[in-house]
Amino acid sequence: MLELNLPERFNAAQYLVDRNVEEGRGERPAIFFEDQTYNYHQVLENVNKSANMLNDLGVEMENRVMLLVRDSPEMIFSFFGAIKLGAVPIPTNMLMKSQDFLHVLNDSRARVLIVDSVFLPEIDKILDQAAFCKNIVVLGGEDHGHLSFDRLMEHSSDEFEAADTTSDDAAFWLYSGRNPEVLMGAVHHHSHMVYCTEGYAKGILNMTEEDRVLGSFLFFAYGLGNSVYFPFAVGGSTVLINHRPTPDLMYEDLIRYRPTLFFTVPTLLSALADYRKTCRGEGRDLPPVDSLRACISSAEILSTEVYHRFKEEFGIEVLDGTGSTEICHIFLSNRFGRVKPGSTGKAVPGYSTRLLDEDGLPVTRGEIGHLLVSGGSIASAYWNMREETKKNMLGEWFVTGDRYLEDEEGFYYFRGRSDDMLRVGGKWLAPQEVENALNQHPAVAESAVVGRQDKDDLVKPYAFVVLRSGHSPSEQLEKEIKEFVKEKIAMYKYPRWVDFTEALPKTSGGKVQRFVLQERVNESD
């Protein structure tokens, strides 16, 4: 465990924002966004305005504030403004659908929702069912019938005294998708962002105020650390993007903003390597990416093939690691000069690990076990989920739900989930959710979903589908089923392959044997 030595009264927003101004970094750039640049003094003023705005709306200490906001300065202002007030912001996955948003609103009892206007159509579907939300504050858009974020901020004071919180007060929640039945609110505290910074940002990446980071998706634990509190903790700067992370646009960002650290996922590393190679083959001479000192990859398993392909094209070291919503950020990571491709490295400073067998006994090196992690940034509980908390948070140890192998040198290798959950695009996916969507199609009698690795060894959903009488397999029907699922659930969850089959393998009790289907997929590859 790391010793933070934080004062008894501690507010994370004051530490991460005010401190930079107090220590003389007020004029240094903090946020780059499109054609805008905010220095730390401007960030502080806007955080204070956000805190006053929420206070004027009746938000008090410990009240929750749901943030359904794209990566933008306003996301950061709202996040730290709520924390400075002593309230609890909840960055929310904008890739979800209306019923998921309703669950977060009602489960958290959020009094205020700050939302980008582009997401209002999904919110309008469920607003009459939101039992606790008192105010909707909208970013952008006109004639939406709700409060305007810009107008409220314009009339708010830029001075605010931080709430008298402690390091153990709840600071923010992140909803975890590890339970296939329901999203669960993981409760994080004011000290957690400092702990992750000391252990990973400083302990692994050696981050300083000279670093400029480029990342995305601030609503994830990974993105929130990378692009918000890591750079703010060291007085550095962050680059926010508001476009789709396509390889051509991301390459332009790398050239334009000249980040020193690029936080991404294996899918984009693969796409960038392909893009650079294709451009070279077509005779297009791309400018070199010469500002980066490292790329950081997480949220998916980085295959050896993608690692080498990216490094060959860019000549930049890639540090692969793994983290979780509940642990707040990366807890296993490779090190500079000591990368072992295919592994997720060793424990980050401040974290300890255990690998246990089915009986809860330690396994020897070289054997696969269930991974448990301890450290000072683990969520204290799942909100109103006592049984899940008891099952997964065993004293100082968190049960990750992952199976790992540790080699003789102490490097960890991912060997699958302890349950049926899939990790797709860095996000948890429950096969049952995809199956429920598939089964609503009029041609589908029943279905089962497993994972399949694509050409870059990235896991994507693979669906086995049994058709109803009167329907026959066809390419057109396969396309129709995929589009149907896309309309029902988040885009990344739709099956990339649909395998029409006569029947699904089942136990004598009628339960689908997914492991049989998984073996069938693995053998076909």
CATH number for position 446: 3.30.300.30
Is residue 1 included in any domain, yes or no? no
46 Cβ contact partners less than 8 Å away, ≥ 6 residues apart: 38, 73, 77, 81, 153, 158
The pLDDT of residue 512: 79
Is residue 445 included in any domain, yes or no? yes
Query: Does the global pTM surpass 0.95?
Result: no
Query: What is the per-residue pLDDT across 327-339, written as a single tens digit (0 to 9) for each?
Result: 999 999 999 999 9
Cα 148 from chain centroid?
27
Is residue 156 included in any domain, yes or no? yes
Residue that is last in its domain, among 393, 417, 441: 417
Is 132 found in the same domain as 230? no
The pLDDT of residue 418: 73
Is 469 found in the same domain as 382? no
Buried b (16+ CB within 10 A) or exposed e, 499-511: bbbeebbeeeeee
Is 120 found in the same domain as 256? no
Is residue 376 included in any domain, yes or no? yes
Is residue 137 included in any domain, yes or no? yes
Is 444 found in the same domain as 403? no
**DSSP letter string, 41-102:** HHHHHHHHHHHHHHHHTT--TT-EEEEE--SSHHHHHHHHHHHHHT-EEEE--TTS-HHHHH
CA–CA dist 408, 365 (Å, integer): 6
Is 168 found in the same domain as 222? no
**Contact at 8 Å (CB) between 296 and 226?**
yes
CA–CA dist 347, 415 (Å, integer): 17
Query: What is the per-residue pLDDT across 233-251, written as a single tens digit (0 to 9) for each?
Result: 999 999 999 899 999 999 9
Residue that is last in its domain, among 417, 442, 477: 417
Amino acid at site 243: H
Is 224 found in the same domain as 256? yes
Is residue 254 included in any domain, yes or no? yes
Is residue 4 included in any domain, yes or no? no
Is 516 found in the same domain as 429? yes
Token duo for residue 454: 């694509």
Is 278 found in the same domain as 401? yes
Tell how strand 444-453 and strand 427-429 pair up. unpaired
**Contact at 8 Å (CB) between 159 and 48?**
yes
Is 392 found in the same domain as 326? yes
Cα separations in angstroms, 316 against 288, 292, 295, 457: 11, 7, 7, 21
237 Cβ contact partners less than 8 Å away, ≥ 6 residues apart: 28, 29, 30, 31, 32, 211, 212, 213, 231
Is 259 found in the same domain as 154? no
Cα 401 from chain centroid?
17
Is 255 found in the same domain as 404? yes
**DSSP letter string, 343-368:** S--EEPTT-EEEEE-TTSPBPPTTSE
The pLDDT of residue 510: 59
Domain containing residue 441:
422-524
Other Cβ atoms within 10 Å of 154 Cβ, number = 10
Residue with tokens 């999904």: 122
Other Cβ atoms within 10 Å of 417 Cβ, number = 16
CATH code for the domain in which residue 60 is found: 3.40.50.980
The pLDDT of residue 37: 98
Number of domains observed in the structure of the chain: 3
Is residue 380 included in any domain, yes or no? yes
198 Cβ contact partners less than 8 Å away, ≥ 6 residues apart: 2, 4, 349, 350
Low-confidence residues of the chain: pLDDT under 50: none
CATH code for the domain in which residue 253 is found: 3.40.50.12780
Residue that is last in its domain, among 417, 446, 475: 417
CA–CA dist 516, 525 (Å, integer): 15
Is 268 found in the same domain as 141? no
